[in-house]
Amino acid sequence: MTSGGTDFADVTYDLISVQYHALKAGKHNDQYIRDAEGAGLDDVAGFFREIQEQDAARARRCHEFLRRLSGTEQGGPATR
């Protein structure tokens, strides 16, 4: 797979992208939870909380991988 419109695979770039989108989604989930709670839809708010937890777990996992790959060949050009 290529990353960022380049001709090389860059696992670090890919992980950073997934982490960024997970963290950004987490920020939006706060509003979704408030909207559902304001509408009295506790089950929907609970669903949004589940998504928020999954996004946070995804971001943490990316962070762990990034720490492990830092400075290695497997991390791609961004870590060299």
Domain segments of the chain: what residues? 11-72
Please report, for the chain, how many H helices and E strands are present, in that order: 2, 0
What is the Cα 18 distance to its own chain's centre? 4
Q: Give pLDDT, residue 70.
A: 83
**pTM attached to this predicted model:** 0.74
Q: Give pLDDT, residue 77.
A: 62
Predicted confidence pLDDT, tens digits, the chain (80 residues): 445 555 556 888 899 999 999 999 988 999 999 999 999 999 999 999 999 999 999 999 999 999 998 876 665 665 55
